[in-house]
Amino acid sequence: MAFDYIKALHIIFIVTWFAGLFYIVRLFIYQREAYDKSPEEQKILLPTLNLMAQRLWYIITWPSAILTFIFGFWTLSYRWGFTEMGWMQAKLIFVLLLYVYHFICHKIYLDLQQGKVTLSSMKLRMWNEVSTVLLFAIVFLVVLKSLISVIWGIVGLIGLSVVMMLGIKWYKRVREA
């Protein structure tokens, strides 16, 4: 019975973590684009966007990432034999990549909070899709539990990534027109 509650909490914090990751990069894009505005607009936009990013990052995203790890490890402790299964090993690699993504987002967050703009809004839009690709990989691995499916899933992820990049480029052209 305890296992089900722990697993439920793990899933809840995965959802809130991803919500935070999806939205924080959108805020990064808005912050980046605010620097292209007039000084008067920057005076209004930047403090608001910085505060929104700060609250999202430290009140939702970071706690969710930590609690996802805690409840995930706790869930795995009930089914330790899963770590020997190929699909779980692949899933844990993707989860590790998700934490790497999170730490890179933290660096971007700190830079933007200090007024350091290092990435274009286009690069940030592409960066925003990385978490989507990782979400697809992790969910498919957990649901399908198959290495063959992993191979097809990776092929599908590459296809999805290509479609997303084409969509981003199309959106950029539409926006500039």
Residue ranges at the known binding site: 10, 91
Binding residues for heme: 10, 91
Backbone angles phi, psi at 37, to 5 degrees: -85, 175
116: part of which helix (H) or strand (E)?
Answer: none
> Which residue type is seen at 145?
K
Length of the chain: 177
- Return d(Cα 92, Cα 86) in angstroms, integer: 10
Residues 6+ apart with CB under 8 A from 57: 20, 24, 106, 109
Alpha carbon of residue 133 to chain centroid: 9
